[in-house]
Amino acid sequence: MFPLFVIVILVALVLQRIFVRSASDSANIRYECKPSVRSCEPGAEFLVFSTVQNHSRFRTPAIRIDEHFPRNLNVLESEQFNVKNLSEEHRIYCSTVVLRKRQQIRRSLRASIGERGEYAFQYADFHAGDFLGFRENDYRIENEHRIVIYPPKLEDAGVLQAFTNEIDEIALKKQFLEDPISVRGYREYTGREPMRQISWTQSAVRNELIVKQFDPVWAQSVLIVLDTEYHGDFDRFGAQLEYLFSLTRTACDVLEQRQIGYRLMTNAIISSGISSFAGGTGTDGSYGRILFALGAAKRGSVCSVEELMRTAILSAVRREVIVFLSTRRDAKVDRALQKARALPGARLLTLFADPDAQAEEGRPAV
């Protein structure tokens, strides 16, 4: 009996040594957490995939994993995770795994995020125990996958009524002149173009639906200038800025629906300088890039509204409409608008997130 007891103790010590070595060797553990999409609409469902892989030749001990997800993550289904905690910055999901040698385990959960922004699935804390449960080895594995949530559309059509009326005039003029004067080529029908853009002659020749491509002069019809500089009212600035991103997105939607070319210029924190995007030209992905930029933009600005307007005016040649969007009015905004009004041949429309500033323009308050 005693020899058997000694053998059990020796086996336990050997296993303990193997498990201690395995638990302390974090280099053999790979971790990745990523959403199923790079970007999406607010409130849209997506999957979050969490993968843990053991590269070692040995089986791992039981590993507790605390995964740090964005705090705004709304988890709809998470059967593979057993504990959910909230911290000031994260939503922490806990789980326990045991990995055989060279094994990979992949878990998933359904989730959504309702607020605009860029969200990171940052890191996971690992707690690996030994065979006898005497101690744990703790380590962290970083993860940098992100998801961008677009700004929501505005449902109040009256806010953009003056803008919509102006754009409808451009669309009507475009419809009168585009055939045949501005046709510069043809391409395959994608399903997004209106029926009037189909060339039935070319479609009959090629035995497939073909649409007309129009002169790029129409891509210079509208310039949207989005100013995100702080102009006072600190307590409401964050909410006004979020409204402004939605206002910009909705204005772009109007132009996309009417196939009016436009350029968006902004001093929002998207890159290190003033950002510029072309839209409404039928180029695949152009509108997607605009939505992504508006979703990923941080609060604040990279330059003043006056510098932004100076840059915008240089590119405003042959624009029919300049649309200026800002949170509210102050002396700097007035100086910038004065420069824009001095530009010949362009109609200036202003939209503000502040109700008082919007009312001064003679349009419905936002």
Q: What is the pLDDT confidence band of residue 220, given thresholds at 50, 70 and 90? A: low
Average pLDDT score over residue span 305-311? 93
Question: Confidence band (pLDDT; 50, 70, 90) for 117?
Answer: very high
How confident is the model at residue 39, as a pLDDT? 96
In the prediction, which pLDDT does 280 show?
76
| Residue 51 Cα distances to 16, 35, 85, 108, angstroms | 27, 12, 20, 9
Poorest-confidence range of 31-35, 222-226, 229-233, 252-256? 252-256
pLDDT of residue 216: 47
**Top mean-pLDDT range of 80-84, 172-176, 196-200:** 196-200
Does residue 181 register a pLDDT over 60? no
Judge whether 96 and 64 are in contact, CB under 8 Å: yes
Of the candidate ranges 45-59, 74-88, 193-207, 249-263, the one whose mean pLDDT is the lowest: 74-88
The predicted pLDDT at position 147 comes to 97
Looking at 219-285, list the stretches that DSSP marks H as alpha helix, in order from N- to C-terminal side: 234-257
For residue 141, which of 129, 120, 123 has the smallest C-alpha distance?
A: 123
Task: Measure CA 65 to chain center.
Answer: 28
Per-residue pLDDT tens digits for 92-103: 888 888 888 889
Mean pLDDT (the chain, rounded) = 81
pTM for the whole structure? 0.78
Which position has the higher pLDDT, 288 or 81? 288
Lowest mean pLDDT among 42-46, 49-53, 173-177, 329-333: 173-177
Q: What is the mean pLDDT of residues 48-77?
A: 88
Query: Is pLDDT at 133 greater than 80 in this prediction?
Result: no
Distance CA 212, CA 202 (A): 9
15 pLDDT tier (thresholds 50, 70, 90): low
pLDDT: which is higher, 325 or 95: 325
* pLDDT top residue among 27 and 337: 337
Of residues 317 and 175, which shows the higher confidence score?
317
Going by pLDDT thresholds of 50, 70 and 90, the confidence category of residue 348 is confident
Higher local confidence (pLDDT), 296 or 188: 296
Cβ-Cβ contacts under 8 Å for 150 (sequence gap 6 or more): 39, 40, 41, 42, 116, 249, 291, 292, 294, 295
Pairing of strands 117-129, 63-70: antiparallel
Distances (CA, A) of 219 to 256, 316, 321: 11, 12, 12
Spatial contact of 306 and 335, defined as CB atoms under 8 Å apart: yes
What average pLDDT score do residues 249-269 get?
Answer: 88
> pLDDT value at position 75?
86
The stretch 331-342 carries a mean pLDDT of 90
Of 138-142, 180-184, 233-237, 276-280, minimum mean pLDDT range: 180-184
